[in-house]
Structure 1
Amino acid sequence: MNKFAKYILGGLGLFLCCGFIAVKHKDLLFSYPEYWPKPQYDFSKLTMSEDQFQLGRQLFYDPILSRDNTISCASCHLQATGFTHVDHDLSHGIEGRIGTRNSMTIMNLAWNTSFMWDGGVNHIEIQALAPISSENEMDESLEHVVEKLNNSEKYKTLFYNVHKDSVVTGQRTLLALTQFVVMLTTYNSKYDKYIREEVEFTEQEKSGLNVFRTHCASCHTEPLFTNNKFINNGLEVDTTLNDFGRMIITQNPQDSLKFKVPTLRNIQFTKPYMHDGRFETLQEVINHYTSDIQDSNTLSETLKSNIELTHKEKVDLLVFLRTLTDQEFLFNKRFAFPYNQ
């Protein structure tokens, strides 16, 4: 039996199959490794059915969620790039409007304790309201989204498949989106297989892992590679955006310039980096932490001492970060655009 595998299968009863521990709850599989912490999300709120998943996937890729039917969730969250965008530093919305922040990746959200760069949303089931209602993104109301969905024969059928009636409501719409995004789990990178003793690391990858654990892991904590906290990581303030991060939500000066620590999973493909997308390469990110930290009253304690890395250590760290890439996740057809619908 693979001691690191835990599977929660969307009905009733326990069974052992193919060396995996499984809990059967209806018909949809949610899985994560045993060495991971328990998810934060309460799955009892979802139907955990295949029909619910397919409804959520359809909504995720449908521009009907935006006011002019041109922008979908996937417009800023592309699967092959870790469900974020890579062609511009700040998010784009309808009519070419430009937002103020880089879109965050969508992966392993069941473990999140808050959402958005500033933690302005504290529950996954309402997270979609933020981009839907944002003037610079979808610029739509949930009420009007529901009206459009109720006028769609396709969605009447999809909602009927889930609820046994075709009535679309705001709550049902948000739950469907939740059903899809909560399933976007990634845990089959080379790093994970190394931890599970399925593969070996090269000496350079091992060296990079040691560098990471020494200098980076306090914020980007294994195995999720985030600690879900908000920190000031010493970036120079962009005087054009004047974004003060968490303080905008809490109104507490102690939260000035603090932003959520993002996961590093699939980091090789999730550029540009930082809340404002200022860095195009991981080399720039590493150089920031080793030579360009800006001191301020709220700077993270872990960054007040200089991080000194040799050229070799920087290269080894980059090599290790590439082991966080999960090709199975990035190209999983189950998460892709539903061409068949």
Structure 2
Amino acid sequence: MKITKYLILILFIWSCSSESGNGESVITTDDGPLTVTNPLLDFTVPANFPDATYSILQNPPTEKGFELGKKLFYDGQLASDGVVSCGFCHIQSFAFTHHTHITSHGVDGQIGTRNAQPLHNLAFMNEFTWDGAATFLDTQPIIPITSEVEMNETVSNVILKLAADDTYPTLFEEAFGSEGVSADRMFKALSQFMVMMVSANSKFDKLERGEAVTFTDQENAGRAIFDAKCASCHAGALQTDQSYRNNGLAMDPVFNDIGRERVTGLPDDNRKFKVPSLRNIEVTFPYMHDGRLATLEDVLNFYTDGMVDSPTLDEQFRRPDGTFGIDITPEEKVQLIAFLKTLTDNDFIEDRRFSEF
């Protein structure tokens, strides 16, 4: 594993200012730079990954910041009912997705419009949510916190609750080096927890890094099909090119979700959604932005026979005969699924650093 250029700079600061074995790091906040005496966590970029897009230098993960972020992630106080936490819809055993419902359920059982996305490798993403409404990880939690059908709360009220709590003022001080419970610090702590969620130890990753693993014949055949027919969108180590595409889903008459157009206002973005990462795809069902497909078999059957036309349908799905889809035989579907299962990272799914208890 290679250390990012950001970590090199942070470790230099740490080595120059450490006292009694505790590292000091500088965190940039709304109140200006804060020097935090608090052991730094080892954020590394796997050898087969691109550079991180999140500014690790401005918000370096620390032991106390991570612990605070983890506590916040699993705390229902971030919702108006005191129950629906971030971890309510992002469950670790499912690679931080939610299986109970096809779309997320929020306070008072209200039904959301979209399927909870997995949380992994967020430090490498350019934008967040199915339509890219969030462009910065620190501000992404504002969307679920304030959504009426998710956590149905205001950021200011969350801060009031945390400031009045018996434990949080001390935890914020330990994490940031001075007194003060603020929205900026809350979001930075959540980011410190989430950027450490690096999933990079699947069988696929080990093979990519030249470690002592081999694919079965089925897995190798599946990879060849994947490279030929899927990898243009599900590209590279992240298993996504991070683009927005219309993949031929019929418009859901209940939600009438216009996708990326909701953010940009451009008709050309109608019904386009972010290409999801296929990492841990074996355990992140149901699939698609609205959870309409229950199994990987359903997904592949959709791509061969289920697409519908619309003005923004991605051109790669238009066949010469005027139909839509990807040509995959039944045998190839079996092989593809065998390959997709090599993307499961059990080390990440079972990593106790991220577990609630």
| Class of the TM-score when normalised by the shorter of the 2 chains | over 0.9
How far did 1:276 drift? 0.4
The residue aligned with 1:283 is 297
- 1:123 equivalent in alignment to 2:136: yes
Write out per-residue CA displacement over residues 23-69 of structure 1, whole angstroms, 9 at most, x where no aligned residue.
Answer: x9752011222221111111112142110000000000010100120
Q: Residues 186-201 of structure 1: matches in 2 within 5 Å?
A: 186-198=199-211, 199-201=213-215
Q: Is the 8 A contact 2:61 2:193 kept in 1?
A: no
Q: Which runs of 5+ in 1 are unaligned?
A: 16-23
Please tell me whether the aligned partners of residues 63 and 69 of structure 1 are also in contact (alpha carbons under 8 angstroms).
Answer: yes
Deviation, structure 1 residue 14: 11
- The answer to whether residue 191 in structure 2 is matched with residue 178 in structure 1 is yes
Q: Equivalent residues in 2 for 1:245-260 (5 A)? A: 245-260=259-274
Which of the numbers 134, 150, 173 marks the counterpart of 1:137? Answer: 150
Matched, 1:7 2:7: no
User: Who is 1:264 aligned against?
Assistant: 278
Aligned to 1:51: 64
The code of the aligned residue for 2:188 comes to L
**Residue aligning to 1:242:** 256
- Paired residue for 1:326? 345
Match for 1:225 among 239, 243, 254?
239
Distance 1:248 1:164 in 2: 40
What is the identity, as a one-letter code, of the residue corresponding to 1:106? L
Count of aligned positions: 326
Match in the other structure for 1:166: 179
Cα distance per residue 1:167-194 (max 9 Å; x no partner): 1001000111011011111000000111
Structure-1 separation of matches of 2:91 and 2:45: 22
3-state DSSP of counterpart to 1:287:
helix
Is the CA contact 2:59–2:192 (under 8 Å) kept in the aligned structure 1? yes
Match of 1:293 among 290, 307, 310: 307
Deviations 1:137-167 (A, max 9, x none): 1110110111011011211111111123331
Residue in 1 that maps onto 2:123: 110
1:335 aligns with 2:335: no
Please state how far the C-alpha of 1:248 moved relative to its aligned partner: 1.1
Q: Structure 1 vs Structure 2: percent identity of aligned residues? A: 43
Deviates more, 1:157-166 or 1:53-62: 157-166
- SS of equivalent to 1:45: coil
The whole-number CA distance in structure 1 between the counterparts of 2:40 and 2:266 is 45
- Aligned residue for 2:50? 37
Equivalence for 2:288: 274
Equivalent pair of 1:51/1:158 in contact (CA under 8 Å):
yes
Deviations 1:174-220 (A, max 9, x none): 11101101111100000011112220111110000001111110110
Contact 2:84–2:151 (8 Å) recurs in 1:
yes
Return the alpha-carbon distance in structure 1 between the equivalents of residues 316 and 134 of structure 2.
26
Q: Conserved in 2, the CA contact under 8 Å of 1:32 and 1:187?
A: no
CA distance, structure 1, for counterparts of residue 237 and residue 154 of structure 2: 37
Letter in 2 for 1:76: C
What's the counterpart of residue 20 of structure 2? none
Alpha-carbon contact 2:107-2:152 (below 8 Å) kept:
yes
Q: Deviations over 1:306-329 (max 9, x none)?
A: 421121111000000000000000
**Contact residue 45 and residue 52 of structure 2 kept, 8 A:** no
1:96 corresponds in structure 2 to 109
- CA offsets 1:220-276 (integer angstroms, 9 cap, x no match): 002100111100000011111111101111111100010011100000000000000
- How does 1:308-323 map onto structure 2 within 5 Å? 308-323=327-342
What secondary structure sits across from 1:100 in the alignment?
coil
Alignment of 1:301-312 (within 5 A): 301-305=315-319, 306-312=325-331
> Whole-Å Cα distance in 1 between the matches of residues 91 and 64 of structure 2?
22
SS in 2 for 1:31: coil
- TM, length-normalised to structure 1: 0.92
Q: 1:13 offset after TM fit, Å?
A: 7.4
Q: Identify which range, 37-46 or 278-287, moves more after superposition.
A: 37-46
Unaligned regions of 5+ residues in structure 2, if any?
Answer: 16-23, 26-38, 320-324
CA RMSD of aligned residues (A): 1.6
Query: Contact between 1:89 and 1:278, CA under 8 Å: does it hold in 2?
Result: yes
Aligned AA (2:289): H
1:288 alignment partner, SS class: helix
Q: In structure 1, the residue corresponding to 2:343 is in which secondary structure? A: coil
